[in-house]
Amino acid sequence: MKTKKKSAIFNYLFLFVGAVLILIPLILTITSSVKETKQIQTDFLGLPSPLTWDNFTRLLDDGISQYFFNSVTITVVSILLILLFVPMAAYSIARNISKRRAFGILYTLLILGIFVPFQIIMIPIASLMTKLNLSSITGLIILYLAYSVPQTLFLYVGYIKNTVPVDIDEAAEIDGASKLRMYFQIIFPLMKPMHATVLIVNALWIWNDFLLPLIILNKDASNWSLPLFQYNYSSQYLNDFGPSFASYVVGIVVILIVYLVFQKNIISGMTNGSVK
């Protein structure tokens, strides 16, 4: 019993320290966003005195709304395409992988992309998208869809094989349902926990991603995503910290809201989808 209590105390202490390490930078970012730049330089750890919203007003004047909208468009459209196409492929593979060798080979080839570092393919991708005249938001969305396939497919296939029994398919076929109707009316709704997991994992990545927008969108400033705007904005106003911190808060708030809405389904989806 003493060993269990010591283990529990250590676990709680570890979680507390981890929470503090996460919350301190977050709190400092939020408080700095409503400080004047002089106070940030002289009293970074202090509370705002006076509290000012001028940093956010300045961001609006500098056009952050356009880049915010660009990021929202990129993230939402990419997630919708991922949730539309990848589960369909996963369902087909999960139901046929043990019956047909071709599906097993295809599945293996697709998930091998997990082990390919982005830095290796970064230059070829930039060259290819330029040649195809897809150095735009549309091209970036296509890349996000393609690059999300390995990990997302792996999660969906594992989830379907372990939590969606084949008996459901057989019952639907007996009732006269077509494959398409069966998938959209029965199978797709059963994957809600995995949909939430995929949404959060990919939304966090796409919303905060910097490298892909840098190589695809940097040619035209009007197409910048929010992280790209933050990078160029901080570089332009190197010693003006207030608006920079305010732009970071804008980026944090949206994805934090999405996470809080879908957090209940994340753990169950990750657990069921990762077991084979």
Q: Are 132 and 143 in contact (CB under 8 A)?
A: no
Nearest in space to 168 (alpha carbons), one of 272, 84, 89, 95: 95
Nearest in space to 155 (alpha carbons), one of 239, 214, 228, 93: 93
Quick one: pLDDT at residue 91?
A: 92
Burial class (CB in 10 A: 0-12, 13-18, 19+), 53: exposed
Q: Are 247 and 230 in contact (CB under 8 A)?
A: yes
Q: Are 258 and 266 in contact (CB under 8 A)?
A: no
Q: How large is the average pLDDT for residues 234-254?
A: 81
89-140, pLDDT tens digit by residue? 999 999 888 888 898 899 999 998 888 888 888 888 888 898 999 889 999 9
> 32-41, 108-117, 199-208, 231-240 — which is least confidently predicted?
231-240
Quick one: pLDDT at residue 3?
A: 67
Quick one: pLDDT at residue 267?
A: 54
Q: Are 92 and 160 in contact (CB under 8 A)?
A: no
Average pLDDT across the chain, whole number? 85
Residue 108, SS3 per DSSP:
helix
pLDDT tier, 220 (very low <50, low <70, confident <90, very high otherwise): confident
148-186, pLDDT tens digit by residue? 999 999 999 999 988 888 888 888 888 887 888 888 888
| Tokens linked to 8 | 């529990």
Quick one: pLDDT at residue 154?
A: 93
- The two counts, helices (H) then strands (E), for the chain are 14, 0
| Tokens linked to 207 | 């919303």
Most confident of 10-14, 20-24, 137-141: 137-141
Q: Residue 46, by phi and psi: left (phi above 0), alpha (psi -120 to 50) or beta?
A: beta
Q: What is the end-to-end Cα distance of the chain in Å, rounded?
A: 35
Residue whose entry in the numeric block shows the structure tokens 């305010």? 246
DSSP state of 191: T
Quick one: pLDDT at residue 273?
A: 45
Residue whose entry in the numeric block shows the structure tokens 């939590």? 163
Quick one: pLDDT at residue 264?
A: 65
Whether the pLDDT of residue 84 is over 60: the answer is yes
Quick one: pLDDT at residue 33?
A: 87
Quick one: pLDDT at residue 241?
A: 81
Give the whole-angstrom CA distance, residue 213 versus residue 229: 10
pLDDT tier, 275 (very low <50, low <70, confident <90, very high otherwise): very low
What one-letter code names the amino acid at 240?
A: D
Q: Name which residue leads in pLDDT, 64 or 44.
A: 64
Whether the pLDDT of residue 252 is over 80: the answer is yes
What is the secondary structure of 204-222 as a DSSP string?
A: HHHHH--HHHHHHHTT-GG
Burial class (CB in 10 A: 0-12, 13-18, 19+), 175: exposed
Q: What's the CA dihedral at 264, 265, 268, 269 to 10 degrees?
A: -150
| Tokens linked to 55 | 């940093």
| Tokens linked to 161 | 């094989």
Give the whole-angstrom CA distance, residue 203 versus residue 188: 20
For the chain, domain boundaries? 62-274
What one-letter code names the amino acid at 221?
A: A
Give the whole-angstrom CA distance, residue 41 versus residue 43: 6
Helices 137-163, 64-96: axis angle to 10 degrees equals 40
Q: Which class is domain 62-274?
A: mainly alpha
